[in-house]
Amino acid sequence: MTAIPFVRSLNVKLILALAGTALAAVALASFLMERSASSEFRSYVMDQQMMEQHMGGSTPRMDQMMSGPMMGTREDAFLADMRQSLWISGGLVAAAALVLAVILARQITGPVRRLAAATTDIAGGKLDSRIENTGSDELGQLGQSFNSMAATLQRQEEERRSMLADIAHELRTPLSVLRGNLEAMLDGLLEPRHEQLSVLHEQSVALSRLIDDLRTLSLAAEGHLELHRQPTDVAELARRVVGEMEAGAKEREIALSVEAPESLPRPALDSDRIGQVLRNLIDNALRYTPASGRVRVTVRPQAQRVTVTVSDTGAGIAREDLPHVFDRFYRADGSRTRATGGSGLGLAIVKQLVEAHGGEVRAESDPGRGSVFSFALPLK
């Protein structure tokens, strides 16, 4: 169906539809009223005339009964008057309907136009565009949904930018150490001795760990992380990871212990990934706990899940930092944690890996006295 060019505007379409319907209704009503009023009036005049003849003693004539009432000038004037009033009131109602149609059409097309303009803004990258005075009808609800969609897009874009800046920042430090040292060696300013090379090796290990962490995070965020699930004894896994980290704890003079029942239900887990979760949590606990402190790993069965807790007697986390510690690149107390070498990705990975298993993570802390990180894994 080809559209008539001037009827392409939604405004005109709505006015035509609303005013057209009102006009048709008024015209039909006027026509029917005029017809029934004049026929009623004619039969009234006829009855009057027959009654007059009857009272005058004459019998009504058959031809008169057939041809209808004798209409005089007064009767004709009355009928013409009535017709005129009907068409005038019909015209007034039609004019009012037209005005109402214009107002109504504007009320509908105004928000639609604002929505179209804001959508064009968003498509052009102006993500702070919003619709004001949305109102509470269906179009208002559409406007509110649009606003919240635009806010989400804006937040995601800001997160993407800040993440890019963070990645660039994290890559720069090890790369500049590597580059500076290598250039000094090439220029003969620094001898490639064992300790020099081991610094460079450490930096390259940090770089590849950062890249691995970023890859794990992006795969998990997109839901593409492959999990090789096997029925796993979580207590056994915790003992193994604690065993691996015992030497490091001893070096820092921290008592590292594990508390787990002998027999536990065996949830289907990717033991490498959950091992990584445990390693990240224990590594943090050891890093943020001073010498002669304690780090305890506890495994407990609960209704339909297994809960693992890593608690320490370390520095703890300030109340305002606690809700953010699972965010990417978040470091509570930047100077302290930067010195310890963390990238701020460890807990973000913990959260993503646990959630990929359908579980949940929690962090509690008593600043100055220690922290408790726990995660729960569903049995099914």
Residues numbered 262-301 forming contacts with ligand ADP, rule: CB under 6 A: 284-285, 288
18, 217, 315, 356: which one contacts ligand ADP (CB under 6 A)?
Answer: 315
Q: Which is nearer to ligand ADP, 19 or 310 (CB)?
A: 310
Q: Which residue is nearest to ligand ADP (CB)?
A: 342
Distances (CA, A) of 218 to 14, 107, 210, 213, 350: 49, 46, 12, 9, 13
Q: Which of 181, 271, 352, 371 binds ligand ADP (CB under 6 A)?
A: 371
Q: How far is CA 263 from CA 156, 256, 374, in A?
A: 45, 22, 20
Contact 115, 131 (CB under 8 A): yes
Residues 60, 248, 342, 367: which binds ligand ADP (CB under 6 A)?
342
CA distances from 80 to 43, 87, 120, 197 (A): 17, 11, 58, 113
The verdict on 181 binding ligand ADP (CB under 6 A) reads no
Q: Residue 213: is it exposed, middle or buried by C-beta count within 10 angstroms (0-12/13-18/19+)?
A: buried
Nearest in space to 153 (alpha carbons), one of 128, 132, 134, 133: 128
Candidates 15, 139, 299, 347; binder of ligand ADP (CB under 6 A) is 347
> Which of 269, 312, 361, 377 forms a contact with ligand ADP (CB under 6 A)?
312
**Residue 29, exposed/middle/buried by CB under 10 A (0-12, 13-18, 19+)?**
middle
- Among positions 264, 325, 354, 376, the unique one binding ligand ADP when judged by CB under 6 A: 325
Read out DSSP for 96-114?
HHHHHHHHHHHHHHHHHHH
19 scored as a contact of ligand ADP (CB under 6 A): no
Of 317, 353, 354, 356, the one binding ligand ADP by CB under 6 A: 317
Which one of residues 337, 353, 354, 356 is an interface residue with ligand ADP (CB under 6 A)? 337
Instruction: Point out which span in 90-98, 158-166, 308-316, 354-362 binds ligand ADP (CB under 6 A).
Output: 308-316
| Closest approach of ligand ADP to the CB of residue 328, in Å | 8
Q: How many CB atoms lie within 10 A of CB 271?
A: 18
314 binds ligand ADP (CB under 6 A): yes
Residue positions counted in the chain: 380
Element housing 169 (H / E): helix 138-186
In this structure, what DSSP letter does residue 2 have?
A: P
Among 232, 343, 352, 374, binds ligand ADP (CB under 6 A): 343
The encoded tokens of residue 221 equal 């965020």
Q: How far is the CB of 315 from ligand ADP (least distance, A)?
A: 5
Binding site for ligand ADP (CB under 6 A): 284-285, 288, 312, 314-317, 325, 330-333, 337, 342-348, 371
